[in-house]
Amino acid sequence: MGPLQPLTGFLGMRRFFVRIAALAVLAAVLFNQASAQSFTENFDDITLLAGNGWVTSNVSVAVGSRNWFQGNPVSAAGPFDSFNGAASAYIAANFNNTGNTGTISNWLMAPTRTLRNGDVLTFYTRKVAPDTYADRLEVRLSANGASTNVGGGAAVGDFNTQLLSINPTLVLGVYPTTWTLYTITVAGLSAPTSGRLAFRYFVTNGGNLGTNSDYIGIDNVVYTPYVCPALTMSAGGGLAAGTLLQPYSRTLTQTGALGAPNFAITAGALPPGLALSSAGVISGAPTAMGTFNFTATVSDASGCSGSQSYSITVLADVPGAPQNVSASPGNMQVDVSWQAPANDGGTPITGYTATAVQDPTKSCSTSGGLSCTVTGLSNGTGYSFSVVANNNQGSSPAGVSGMVTPALATITGAVPGMAGMATATLTAGGPTCTFDLSSQFAMPATAPANRTLPYGGFEFLATGCVGGVTVAITYPDPLPSGIQFWKLGPSSAGAPASTWFPWSGATLSPDRRTVTYTVIDNGVGDSDNVLGRVRDPFALALGGGGDHVGIPVDNPWALFALATVLAGLGMRRQRRRSTG
């Protein structure tokens, strides 16, 4: 193996030098591109300008005897020598660009280039000393390719972007009388564009007899294209994971952009529901699960760009909250029902749990059904119920029902002398009013004097009540004629003892099967003096012949006969008095 080591090292060095060579080639390409764009013009011989892409255009009003001309050095009785090179190596313009008086608009247009923000133009200029007549020089930009449209007179044609104006108000003492360097950096372009830069000698009221315009020179014009730096973005790879249907936000960053950067997706795709803003913010709420690969590119107004590859994984979530939760109270229980959530979080719902908010130990569950019954509740106590959906990610937010109160509102029992079952229903008394479990149909231990109780009685205790309660007892068979309604309790409000007394406050339905009556808390017939509790034994009675106590009966013919008998007795007694 020893002899192979030099070869291995040699191959490693070859790879290293290949990479270096590749980078050198890339650098050379970039350099050549920049070099092809750049230029330096020292105006050694202005007759060569046209061949190098320069264009002159004198559109003064009116056009004078001279255009741009070769600089006039001091040795030839001129006003000054060049900034560098031969004494005459500069380009000049003067008052002779127009007639005796007029507006000078004399253009010197540079070669067409792809202009971009960050490009730099430098040049030297000066005028004759002393400064006796005001001069002005503008530098303008056209983004219309090779156009040489400069308009006429005060117009500017396609060169509508002014980059610089030396002595814009045409006053003395502003335009330099010695060679002075000016630097312009191109800015404001929306994107790299083909166009020209141009110098404009622009003087109003110029000319041989005008109050303005004298003699200016331009030298050593250098155009340096902007070279894109490396635009570096946020580290590539997996970005923060998202959760299905939940808000997501992640900001991509960059360094190196000139001006405001612009971000865009250039390959692959973001998860559905997310979008990348031009400022680099990924936001939204993903609507699909999985891993999504994409390439983001940042660019600037100079056309420079950089790219990076990323991925976002969207995970499942807990379900949404169950909807439209409702509760229906019963005896010591509540039936809870709901509708499925708007979304399952991306994985199937495995079940639901309904829990009493006021007593979390009371709950019920399903494996997917949309209702269940919570039992073991206290009658007369208000409850609301929270329902959550479950999947393999956990439990959802809760949907909550309104408040309901379980109550025992109906008692069913056998009645002596009848084949079916009787039902007692409690109403009124407020939302917490309920039958106690001790309420029942049964035969009372005692009966009213001289009466029989062929159908037994109904004794109830109602708790949590406010005011009075109403009880409706429905029997399986119609009640016979002559039936009497009796109660065991205080025969008057506040009476100290409970006794059997006839009850005139009950009504019988037309089919003679339902008896309805009302008992007021701590009123007549309530044998429980605790406020909010109503206790009332009630019975149906027959018999009582020879009893002189007024007995309520429900047969109007019996009442009529009784009235007739009483009337006859009264008349007989009256006769005895009259004959005695």
Count of alpha carbons within 13 angstroms of residue 397, beta-carbon side: 7
User: CA-CA distance, 433 to 145, in Å (whole number)?
Assistant: 92
User: CA-CA distance, 224 to 510, in Å (whole number)?
Assistant: 111
Closest CA to 444 of 455, 435, 433, 434: 455
Q: What's the Cα-to-Cα distance from 422 to each of 84, 331, 456, 467, 476, rounded to whole Å?
A: 125, 18, 11, 26, 6
Picking from 18-22, 381-385, 537-541, which range would have the lowest pLDDT averaged per residue? 18-22
Q: Produce one character per residue of 493-523: b if its CB has 16 or more CB atoms within 10 Å, e if not.
A: eeeeebebbbbeebeeeeeeebbbbbbebbb
Q: Does the structure show a pLDDT above 90 at 25?
A: no
What are the two backbone dihedrals, phi and then psi, of residue 13, each rounded to the nearest 5 degrees?
A: -65, -35
Architecture of domain 39-224: Sandwich (2.60)
Helices (H), 137-207: none
Cβ atoms of 527 and 536 closer than 8 Å: yes
Q: What per-residue confidence (pLDDT) applies to 35?
A: 57
Q: Would you place residue 39 in the very low, low, confident or very high pLDDT band (cuts 50, 70, 90)?
A: very high
Cβ atoms of 38 and 119 closer than 8 Å: no
Q: Does the structure show a pLDDT above 60 at 141?
A: yes
Q: What's the Cα-to-Cα distance from 291 to each of 242, 248, 286, 296, 357, rounded to whole Å?
A: 10, 15, 11, 16, 40
pLDDT, mean of residues 151-164? 96
Q: What per-residue confidence (pLDDT) applies to 22?
A: 41
Q: Where are the beta strands (DSSP E) in 151-192?
A: 161-166, 180-185
pLDDT, mean of residues 397-425? 95
Q: Does the structure show a pLDDT above 60 at 107?
A: yes
Among left, alpha and beta (phi > 0; psi -120 to 50; other), residue 256 is left
Give the mean pLDDT of the chain: 89
Closest CA to 382 of 350, 412, 356: 356
What is the signed CA dihedral for 567, 568, 572, 577, rounded to 10 degrees?
10
Can you identify the CATH homologous superfamily of domain 323-400?
Answer: Immunoglobulins (2.60.40.10)
Q: What per-residue confidence (pLDDT) applies to 14?
A: 38
User: CA-CA distance, 108 to 165, in Å (whole number)?
Assistant: 15
Which two three-digit tokens encode residue 164? 């610089």
Which two three-digit tokens encode residue 253? 């960053």
User: CA-CA distance, 300 to 309, in Å (whole number)?
Assistant: 19
pLDDT, mean of residues 522-533? 91
Q: Does the structure show a pLDDT above 50 at 558?
A: no
- CATH match for 232-315 among 2.60.40.10, 3.40.190.10, 3.40.30.10, 1.10.3720.10: 2.60.40.10
Q: What per-residue confidence (pLDDT) applies to 34?
A: 52
Q: What share of the chain has pLDDT > 90, as a percent? A: 81
Output the 3-class SS for 458-520. Answer: EEEEEECCCCEEEEEEECCCCCCCCCEEEEEECCCCCCCCCEEEECCCCEECCCCCEEEEEEE
Q: What per-residue confidence (pLDDT) applies to 243?
A: 95
Q: What per-residue confidence (pLDDT) applies to 545?
A: 52
Q: What per-residue confidence (pLDDT) applies to 357?
A: 98
Q: What per-residue confidence (pLDDT) applies to 11?
A: 36
pLDDT, mean of residues 532-554? 69
Picking from 63-67, 285-289, 312-316, 564-568, which range would have the lowest pLDDT averaged per residue? 564-568
Q: Does the structure show a pLDDT above 50 at 470?
A: yes
Q: What per-residue confidence (pLDDT) applies to 300?
A: 92
User: CA-CA distance, 64 to 225, in Å (whole number)?
Assistant: 35
Closest CA to 292 of 306, 305, 273: 273
Q: Would you place residue 556 in the very low, low, confident or very high pLDDT band (cuts 50, 70, 90)?
A: very low
Q: Where are the beta strands (DSSP E) in 214-304?
A: 215-224, 232-233, 237-238, 242-243, 248-251, 254-255, 262-268, 274-276, 281-284, 290-299
Q: Does the structure show a pLDDT above 60 at 13?
A: no
Q: Would you place residue 537 in the very low, low, confident or very high pLDDT band (cuts 50, 70, 90)?
A: very high
Tell me the pTM: 0.59
Q: What per-residue confidence (pLDDT) applies to 400?
A: 98
One fold for both 232-315 and 323-400? yes
Task: For the chain, count helices (H), then strands (E).
Answer: 2, 43
Pairing of strands 507-508, 514-520: antiparallel
Q: Would you place residue 80 in the very low, low, confident or very high pLDDT band (cuts 50, 70, 90)?
A: very high
pLDDT, mean of residues 535-552? 68
SS3 81: coil
Q: What per-residue confidence (pLDDT) applies to 491?
A: 86
Cβ atoms of 98 and 62 closer than 8 Å: yes
Domain boundaries, the chain: 39-224, 232-315, 323-400, 410-558
113 DSSP β-pair partners: 195
Supply the Cα-derived Rg of the chain in whole angstroms. 54
Q: How far apart are the first and last CA of the chain?
A: 161
Q: What per-residue confidence (pLDDT) applies to 493?
A: 79
pLDDT, mean of residues 358-378? 97
Closest CA to 502 of 553, 459, 453: 553
| 387, containing H or E segment | strand 385-391
Closest CA to 402 of 321, 329, 320, 319: 329
Q: What per-residue confidence (pLDDT) applies to 124?
A: 98
Which two three-digit tokens encode residue 482? 């002559």
Task: Tell me how far the alpha carbon of residue 471 is from its chain's centroid.
Answer: 54
User: CA-CA distance, 434 to 131, in Å (whole number)?
Assistant: 111
pLDDT, mean of residues 36-40? 90
| 20, containing H or E segment | helix 4-37
Over residues 436-469, the pLDDT tens digits come to 999 999 999 999 999 999 999 999 999 999 999 9
What are the two backbone dihedrals, phi and then psi, of residue 561, each rounded to the nearest 5 degrees?
A: -65, -40
